[in-house]
Amino acid sequence: MTLNEVLKGLSNRKQLYIKYKFNLWWMDKERPLTEEQFLHMCDLKSMATFKRWERTPEYKHVVSCVLAAKQANDLIQIYEALKAKIDKDPNPKDIDMMLKLMKEINLHNKEAEKFFNHIDDEEDDLDI
């Protein structure tokens, strides 16, 4: 499940909040917003609604998907740094640490996929 698919399953306000919180604006013209600009865009007076949502399993799984989406760029940076370090002084501990991090992120992403697939299954049951 891609981040776009996850975001499409959220309400418009939640989508905007995730984009605001993690600076996921897709177009170059879209720049990070201030909290006041964001609240004005959502027609809200405070962040309380979003702060409550941050305590839900849904939000935690969305964050997991965001982190998994960002993982590719991080892995490129880690790979390049690790490769440069290994070229100078090979160290198996660095490789082991990177593999453990990848395994952890993938575990969280799998949990998020299960969560969102479960929600999709429940929606299908309601359609019957």
Q: Which of 56, 55, 54, 67 is nearest to 101 (CA)?
A: 67
Copy the structure tokens of residue 67. 């982190």
| pTM reported for the whole predicted model | 0.62
Q: Please state the domain count of the chain.
A: 1
Instruction: pLDDT tens for the chain, 128 residues: list them.
Output: 778 888 999 999 999 999 889 888 765 555 678 899 889 989 999 999 999 999 999 999 999 989 888 876 777 787 778 767 767 777 788 777 767 767 877 877 787 888 878 766 665 554 54
Copy the structure tokens of residue 90. 């090979």
- Domain containing 111 equals 3-127
Angle between helices 57-88 and 92-127 (to 10 degrees): 160
d(Cα 111, Cα 103) in Å, to the nearest integer?
Answer: 12
